[in-house]
Structure formats: C-alpha cells, structure tokens
Amino acid sequence: MPAFRKVLEGFKHFKETTYRQNTELFRILAAKQAPKAMMIACCDSRVDPAIITNADPGDLFILRNVANIVPPRASPNNTHHGTSAALEFAVFALQVDYIIVMGHAGCGGIRALMSDDPEIGPGREFIYPWMQIAQPARHRTLRLHGTESFDEQVRFCEQESIKVSLDNLMSFPWVRERVQAGTLKLEGLYFDIAAGTLYRYDPRRDRFAVVAGEEQDAEAPAARETAEPA
C-alpha cells in the first residue's frame, strides 16, 4: 500500500474506532488541552512516545526532534528556536508537572555522531550544528568506553545524550527555578526497542534502571556506575 494511502486508511480506522468510542473525550479536548507532562522524544518512526506509554489523547505534550536533544538556552535572536519555544509554552502556558526526555536504542542520529558519518558532517546545513549539541555525550563515551565495541559505545552515548539534555534543561532559568521550587520534575527514560524494556535515569546513582520489563532491578547495558561525574 502506498505510504500516503496508508495514512488515509489509518485515519478512517481511527475515526471508526478510537474516535467513536471516545467522542466525549474529544469534545472536551476540542475546547482545551491540559497535559501534565511534556515528552521530548526522538522523531525516529519506531518510537512513538504515545504508543510506548499507552497515553490517551491529551495526556502528553510531545516534542519530537532528531535524537531527542534539548539545546542549552541561547539568547533570543533572528534564528528560530523550535525546541525552546515548545519548552516555554509547556512551562508557562500549560504549566506541566514533568518534562521527560526519552531516548532509545538504535538511534540513527547518535550512531552517526559516534561514527563521524558525513551525512551529519559539516557539509550539512542544519543537522551538523544540531548534533554538535550532543558532543559532550560522545566525548564522555570515548573517554570511559573507548576500548569497547562500537555498538556498546553507541548504546552508552544514547544514554549519555539523555543526561546532556537534562542538564541543558536546567540552563533555562524558568525551568531551573521551578525544579528548585519542587513544582516541576525532570525525568530521563531510555527505551530498548528489541527487548521492549524501559529504563529510568537515577541521578543519585548515575545509572539507568529497569522500570518495565522482566527484571525489575536490572541495570541498563552500557550504563554501569562510574566514579567520574557526568
């Protein structure tokens, strides 16, 4: 089936099932949204955050970009700040209680960053400067896991990039103030597609631990504890 035709057929199925079964919910949502959580996720087609978390319409304010990256705060100028604008709207207009950064295994952007893929190299006008935001994660990966296999390095960097985004969230004063006041919480999640397992970042122990899977106390592969600070 052609891709666009599948989109139209998908809407038809949605209208006949989900929409008709929840007409009152959609009537309420038509008037306003009031999500309590913002999700910053990768635009990878395999990791739809609403599907992964079984969210209902209206539950999540979702921002998706390449490699679920949050840039550090930059002074407003003539450039565009799509991610920062979404953050600002979530915090001030929606007054969300949580901002969640969700990364995933098999991230093409992080793999390209680790391999110096020319597809995201200096010749690319937009993707190159975007992925440079995650360079601290790459540097720490090479420093701590430079002798391990490339796949293990990629997995570690995927997790480290989540921590970079969490740190960058705190560079926005209106995020930092709310976090310090206890009215806003930041969370990091990592989804393993093949295993169907979700990990949550524990900043006190600097590790990702299973929150949904067969082994509830398991530690994410390539996320071993280390005495070196993030």
What CA–CA distance (Å, rounded) separates 55 from 32?
A: 17
Are 99 and 166 within one domain?
yes
- Name the band, by pLDDT with cuts 50, 70 and 90, for residue 185: very high
Do 56 and 111 fall within a single domain?
yes
Which of the pair, 110 or 79, is modelled with greater confidence?
Answer: 110
Residues 81 and 125 in one domain: yes
Q: CATH code at 190?
A: 3.40.1050.10
Clarify whether residues 81 and 192 are in a common domain. yes
Same domain for 73 and 6, yes or no, is: no
The number of distinct structural domains making up the chain is: 2
Burial of 17 (0-12, 13-18, 19+ CB in 10 A): exposed
21 shares its domain with 85: no
Task: Tell me the residue type at 132.
Answer: Q
| Domain extent at residue 48 | 33-212
Based on the domain organization, do 129 and 40 belong to the same domain?
yes
The answer as to whether 218 is a domain residue is: no
- Asked if 56 and 7 sit in the same domain, the reply is no
* Residues 53 and 93 occupy one common structural domain: yes
- Lookup result for tokens 């969230």: 169
Residues 165, 70: contact at Cβ < 8 Å? yes
pLDDT value of residue 229: 36
The pLDDT of residue 132 = 96
Mind listing the pLDDT tens digit for each residue in 56-98? Answer: 999 999 999 999 999 999 877 767 799 999 999 999 999 999 9
Residue 70 lies in a domain: yes
126 in a structural domain: yes
163 with 187, same domain?
yes
The pLDDT of residue 227 is: 34
Same domain membership, residue 72 and residue 87: yes
Q: Is residue 11 part of a domain?
A: yes
In the prediction, which pLDDT does 84 show? 96
CA-to-CA distance for 80 and 124, rounded, in angstroms? 17
**For a pLDDT cut of 90, what percent of the chain falls above it?**
88
Does 153 lie in the same domain as 175?
yes
Q: Which tens digits make up the pLDDT trace of 44-54?
A: 999 999 999 99
Report yes or no on 113 lying in a domain: yes
- Please give the model's pTM, rounded to 2 decimal places: 0.90
CA 175/CA 185 separation, integer angstroms: 9
Q: What is the pLDDT of residues 187-228, one digit of tens each?
A: 999 999 999 999 999 999 999 999 855 554 455 565 444 333
